[in-house]
Structure 1
Amino acid sequence: MRLGQHVHSRGRPRLAVPGDAKDILTDFARLEEPYGATVTVGDTGNG
């Protein structure tokens, strides 16, 4: 949420940097496993 930022920019959706994005998606994939969902995390080369 970028709490240290100005009010007008806090909470705005933004793209994650590649390393953070992969971590977020890996955690999401792990959390979805008990529900039978399959999430594949790859590197598209974007970013």
Structure 2
Amino acid sequence: MNATARLGPLKPIDLAKLQALAADMPAQPPAAADFIRSMRDGDRY
């Protein structure tokens, strides 16, 4: 058995609950690539 094996059938996703959860999450301001670049450039100089 590998680490990604499922133990049972997939469960249906409640779309309304998923949308409500996502609506409460704040948007990520900078893109990840821009954030990493700024950290790297800040350490460089």
Give your verdict on TM over 0.5: no
Q: TM-score, normalised by structure 1?
A: 0.32
TM-score (norm 2): 0.33
Quick one: higher RCO (CA 8 Å, sep 6+), 1 or 2? 1
* Structure with greater helix share of residues: 2
